[in-house]
Amino acid sequence: MGVLIGLVIGIGSLLGGFIAMGGHLEVIWQPYEFVIIGGIALGAFIMGNPMSTIKDAAKGSMEALSNKVPKRKDFLELLSLLFALMRDLRSRPRNEVEAHIDNPQESPLFQHFPSILKDKELTQFVCDYVRLIIIGNARSHEIEGLMEQEISTLRKHKLKPCGAMSTISEALPALGICAAVLGIVKAMGALDESPEVLGHYIGAALIGTFTGIFVSYAVISPLAQKIKLTREKQVQSFIIVKQTLIAFMNGAMPQIALEHGRKTIASAERPTIDEVENEAISNTPPAAPVLAKAA
């Protein structure tokens, strides 16, 4: 919503100021200049990035527009899941928990937390490291190093669309100049025309420069920054899992381990200790029944 509001304010101010100066909106409408700039930008974007990054850029743009980031309730749900897993690991034989980790989609425990289960990447991350705890051979500092490496790789992968779009944003002013040069070339071929016609051609050429600069600094660059912020917030859930499980592996009680995870959340979204007590601990489902492991 913020992106759309910003665009409305920016474009409204642009057009309103232009009209207030006595400008005519039809002068700005130069579709062929837009085709030149947009076509070159799109071609360069496709040329410089693998298809996976191109698709992820579209996905990231939709996530930014819809502000698809974890909210306070999502963090509470994640803490609840982690508490339930740690509780079962302490109170039940660890091999009884393994079936839930092997098949989270059919686990009653994971099904109690649908928003976590919907995020396959996060679910897999939780399952992988709980499985390492169940095995019991790895040391906590080794697991912590492995988690940090995976989160670093995950962050790098998630931020690829931001870098790709920032590169195109930096190129757009120059592409606008390309379109303007073509417009000037057209105007040079009409020097024998009346000043009115020649002025129209030159004005259309300058719209190319204006479009490249405007789209770069007022559209693509802010959108890339919004995607970056959105993806960084999505990575926060993985950091919560890391801090919580490492504290548990180091001997902390489940309630204390949750505090290690809670403290990594930004203050604006961080649930209070009472909220964690009331929602993430008190409302956690009872010990999950043992699932039959697949043969």
pLDDT, one tens digit per residue, over 103-115 is: 888 888 888 888 8
48 in a structural domain: yes
Domain count for the chain: 1
For the chain, the average pLDDT equals 88
The pLDDT confidence band at residue 295, using thresholds 50, 70 and 90, is very low
What does the alpha-carbon distance between residue 105 and residue 22 come to, in Å, rounded to a whole number? 63
Whole-model pTM: value is: 0.85
Task: Give the DSSP letter of residue 217.
Answer: I
Decide if 241 is inside a domain: yes
Give the number of other CB atoms < 10 A from CB of residue 176: 26
- In this prediction, residues 1-23 reach a mean pLDDT of 84
Residue 57 has a pLDDT of 94
Has residue 19 been placed in a domain? no
For the segment 44-101, what is each residue's pLDDT rounded down to a tens digit? 999 999 999 999 999 999 999 888 999 999 999 999 999 988 988 887 777 777 877 8
pLDDT digits (tens, 9 = 90+) for 276-291: 888 777 766 665 555 5
Residue 196 maps to a domain: yes
Higher pLDDT, 100 or 34: 34
Comparison of pLDDT for 148 and 26, the residue scoring more: 148
Predicted pLDDT at 139: 84
Residue 12 belongs to some domain of the structure: no
The full 3-state SS of 58-98, as one line of letters, equals: HHHHHHHHHCCCCCHHHHHHHHHHHHHHHHHHHHCCHHHHH
Kindly state whether residue 267 falls inside one of the protein's structural domains.
yes
Residue numbers of the domain that contains 173: 31-288
